[in-house]
Structure 1
């Protein structure tokens, strides 16, 4: 039975989609069967893996016009990686979910039947705490939170953690925090080291040992519709995410 992990942070530009794409690809290359769910109207995870955003997508699943099994696509160059695509239409789901009975549980109903087919289902959430993101938290078993090593990194985390706490108490009692992932790290900057130290001191074992360093290849890869390991397998970003995938698997073996 697969595990559903939501990648969430309402602050934009923290490396959330980059992490979703590259962690999913790295896990698949290692041998795990992965489904990446693009739950962001910007559809960057979809386009970043070379898939067409102008097609039937997760919005059609939410509105009941398509089943997930019918629209899931295989990543062109990674055999064990499937994608449930998104598009700008997903913006409309925020309104439509209000009118659906048990609307906050719609994504759970979509993804639950898919769990036996995958080792992990990763959900790339939008940089907001709207109804679609709430749906992802209700559907998820855990939440992975990227934290960039920059000024204001910890600002707003309290709001996200309160949302997770509320979701756990009222809608999804099994929801746990998968971990905090430090991203965009530059060892030359004193501030980056300060943020890394603060996160480790505050969250302890919940902080991943792996740190994602700032890397040009990670930024370039999406424009070619590839994860970093296909764009430049020797790059620092590729190595970082492969290490994260190994740590992620090891951590989940301990909790299995």
Structure 2
């Protein structure tokens, strides 16, 4: 299990999330008009078209489920998205994606942050969860798709710190609580925004604390690169490291989402 507080950055308001979401969604829409057979370089067997469809189906599932007040597929988004019946019935992926992104934005941001809505989280059921989760989803896959064209732009430092917070207090805490159990500690330090994390392994999982500390390994760099590291988009070689880097390799091997 994981022991930690839930991290919410007060500077990331609903309006700022919505602005970031809209910007990423517009960029994906734009890129969806290009050659969609190009491979995503860091994800095997995934093309630009696959990525656009994946993100669009996630948006569609979440938007419909919020409006319905319960998940539209009882097994969750992945089985629903993999069902051929739910695939987009058009070759105009840019127009399809633009529509589902707009529908999702309306479903989420028609609510106040603290309004109760259906979520996929075990710990929170407010619209703020989706404001963060879908903004981070859009931003990460915007980066993925840009990478296919050799033009990935860094993720905003403040948003990247928020994404690292979410990685630990949602994905690790709720979906992978025991995956990184063991010995050793990892310290991550953002160099361009206020963000530090101490990840201490134990027999039950990890304890994550948002503070300065001395780990068995330390990795520091721009917040965007740290987020890409925890999401397994790039290796620790993109970061400045000190200590036992095998722990960083274990982090990526065991904490995959």
Structure 1-normalised TM-score? 0.32
Q: Give the structure with the higher percent strand.
A: 1
Larger radius of gyration: 2
**Higher relative contact order at CA 8 Å, sep ≥6: structure 1 or structure 2?**
1
